[in-house]
Structure 1
Amino acid sequence: MKLETIELPDFSASFDLYLRENVSSDLSHLPVVVICPGGGYRMVSGRESEPIALAFLSQGYHALVVDYPVLAETSQVTPDYLDTNTRLLAEVFKQIEHNYEQWTIDPTAIFLLGCSAGGHMAALYANKWQETVQTDEPRYSKPLGSILCYPVIGFNYGWPAEGVLDPSELKDYDTSALINPDTPATFIWHTADDSSVPALNTLKYCEGLTQKAIPFECHLFESGKHGLSLATRASAESQEAQHIHPPVAKWLSLCVDWMERRLSK
């Protein structure tokens, strides 16, 4: 594995690039997963960063973890902040396009994954990526698929930082209302008793995907706390924190099966 950190000074951000050895005789370039960790836009969760990247590396994918700017405790989520993060993801896709030969990435096989608030960031880009294309030059701005893990979809459906934002000012950032014919196919999962980001978020997104006839696969697990990440020891803060949940850990194999079907089309 090769790990490289790429700085994006225009956004006060960076991303960690995890490149696995390509042992395939059939593929010269491998698909990649771009990961937006959660953290309520207050932090970038380490449990949803490298552990998820390494899990996808073991399945034959390169991985890229976005270290995006976060807000101070007293700051509010604003349209400007959300729009800047969307432009940041557009820059990440542009970096892949410019360097895919060197990084041995297949630019037609970019999956965009987000957890919790990172799921909102990913879903926002998935529905607005075409607005970020300023010229005819970028060819690979659309994700082949989006993967949303217990995502924030709209700020009126439950948000772990109530009291620090005004949902009425962010109604245009309800990603379920932004779904359009250019939205990529989606894999999405949640736990039904998530008390921090209610499963209503995922249900609303699935409703929007259905209305626009966008292919999707949804898994709603019976129980499990918010922020499970892989739901295995590899991503657990501790055994006592209840981050190990075998029934939910199945999401990764289900997701990889879904991704492989996307790649074979």
Structure 2
Amino acid sequence: MGVKILQKQELAYQDTKFNLDTYWVDPIADFGEPTQRPLAIICPGGAFKFLTDREAQPIAFKFNALGMHALVLDYQLIDDEHTVYPLALQELATTLNWLKTQSDVHNIDLSKVVLVGFSAGSHVVANFNSIMLDPEQRTKVFADDLLVEPVANVLCYPVIDMTIGWPKEEDWAMKIAPDIYYWQAQEHLTEHGKPTFIWQTVTDATVPVMNSIIYAQKMDMLNIPYEMHLFGSGAHGLSLGTYVTQNPGNADNLNEYDTKWWELCLNWLKLQKILPKQ
């Protein structure tokens, strides 16, 4: 099983262009017919200032190793011309619709598309799950039909509510989204939301752990399946928590206890029948 590593794909929403890093799993030549494979769309963190590579290619490779395609979405950040919202949601919707055109080319199982967010990227994923999967709310943001819906989400030390600890400055929140409608993802979650895996550390000094708790609480109220793991130690932004994603010399990037999140996530993907049990 080979992977077409880091092919760049440019897409556009209206007059705004954005990029995807694509990691396609090649068909196995020995098979009589190509295998339809699940796909993960990854939204790295970076405080909406940048996208950290620590939560991009290493995560894509982990999904590739499971036999899944992976895309890293270069979603809208804060710049001189744009705020993050609503453009980041429109870009993610555009990406999902683009997959419809690629399903035969790359053998994508469109019924098994997973959104994966880290930190600020989780805010985009959580807002998509809350706003964009509710047909009534979506029409206010995205005029086109959503041709491909994600089947599940993975939220890693997520920003959910921008009023409870991150960002610390209200003016930064206004740069992210001048419309406070986008600030609190949990407030707009409906029964249309998809099953979600959440993990974070209770010692996260950047994004308060209550972010994870309030989103899980809202899912519980709506009877949306979820699994949440709160680890007793560890800093924000762990990514895999191993040397693979360690910024050299930064001990905060390592935590042997929290590395178990990946195995737990794998088990959950099997529980959701996104991956086979064996």
1:215-234 correspondence runs (5 A):
215-234=225-244
In the other structure, the counterpart of 1:16 is 21
Match of 2:207 among 163, 179, 197: 197
Query: Which whole-Å CA distance do the structure 2 matches of 1:259 and 1:21 have between them?
Result: 21
Using a 3 Å threshold, how does the CA distance of structure 1 residues 7 and 153 change in structure 2: closer, same or farther? Answer: same
Q: Over the residues paired in the alignment, what is the CA RMSD in angstroms? A: 2.4
C-alpha displacement at 1:232, in angstroms? 1.1
In the other structure, the counterpart of 2:62 is 55
> For 1:263, what is the secondary structure of its paired residue?
coil
C-alpha displacement at 1:27, in angstroms? 6.6
- Structure 2 unaligned spans of 5+: none
Sequence identity, in percent? 31
Q: Does 1:151 align with 2:158?
A: yes
1:243-254 correspondence runs (5 A):
243-254=253-264
- Give the alignment's TM-score, normalised by structure 1: 0.90
> For 2:229, what is the secondary structure of its paired residue?
strand
Query: Which whole-Å CA distance do the structure 2 matches of 1:231 and 1:77 have between them?
Result: 33
Q: Does 1:176 align with 2:186?
A: yes
Using a 3 Å threshold, how does the CA distance of structure 1 residues 166 and 244 change in structure 2: closer, same or farther? Answer: closer
In the other structure, the counterpart of 2:247 is 237
Query: Which whole-Å CA distance do the structure 2 matches of 1:22 and 1:127 have between them?
Result: 34
Letter of the 1:176 counterpart: Q
Contact in 1 for aligned 2:161/2:184 (Cα 8 Å): yes
Using a 3 Å threshold, how does the CA distance of structure 1 residues 56 and 165 change in structure 2: closer, same or farther? Answer: same
Contact in 2 for aligned 1:155/1:170 (Cα 8 Å): no
Using a 3 Å threshold, how does the CA distance of structure 1 residues 87 and 166 change in structure 2: closer, same or farther? Answer: closer
- Structure 1 unaligned spans of 5+: none
In the other structure, the counterpart of 2:44 is 37
Query: Which whole-Å CA distance do the structure 1 matches of 2:107 and 2:196 have between them?
Result: 25
Using a 3 Å threshold, how does the CA distance of structure 1 residues 44 and 222 change in structure 2: closer, same or farther? Answer: same
TM-superposition CA deviations, 1:183-203 (whole Å, max 9, x none): 000000110010100101001
Query: Which whole-Å CA distance do the structure 1 matches of 2:189 and 2:18 have between them?
Result: 27
Query: Which whole-Å CA distance do the structure 1 matches of 2:119 and 2:188 have between them?
Result: 18
Query: Which whole-Å CA distance do the structure 1 matches of 2:19 and 2:57 have between them?
Result: 14
Query: Which whole-Å CA distance do the structure 2 matches of 1:76 and 1:194 have between them?
Result: 32
Report the count of equivalent residues. 259
In the other structure, the counterpart of 2:269 is 259
Query: Which whole-Å CA distance do the structure 1 matches of 2:185 and 2:170 have between them?
Result: 21
Indicate the larger mover: 54-63 or 255-264: 255-264
Contact in 1 for aligned 2:234/2:255 (Cα 8 Å): yes
Query: Which whole-Å CA distance do the structure 2 matches of 1:171 and 1:86 have between them?
Result: 13
In the other structure, the counterpart of 2:4 is 2
Using a 3 Å threshold, how does the CA distance of structure 1 residues 239 and 207 change in structure 2: closer, same or farther? Answer: same
C-alpha displacement at 1:172, in angstroms? 4.5
Q: Does 1:107 align with 2:110?
A: yes
Match of 2:195 among 185, 191, 212: 185
Contact in 1 for aligned 2:76/2:87 (Cα 8 Å): no
Contact in 2 for aligned 1:12/1:69 (Cα 8 Å): no
Contact in 2 for aligned 1:22/1:30 (Cα 8 Å): no
TM-superposition CA deviations, 1:38-91 (whole Å, max 9, x none): 00000011101001101111122110000123214xx7995xx31111000000
> For 1:206, what is the secondary structure of its paired residue?
helix
C-alpha displacement at 1:229, in angstroms? 0.6
In the other structure, the counterpart of 2:127 is 124
Contact in 2 for aligned 1:40/1:161 (Cα 8 Å): no
Query: Which whole-Å CA distance do the structure 2 matches of 1:172 and 1:163 have between them?
Result: 14
C-alpha displacement at 1:173, in angstroms? 2.8
C-alpha displacement at 1:164, in angstroms? 3.4
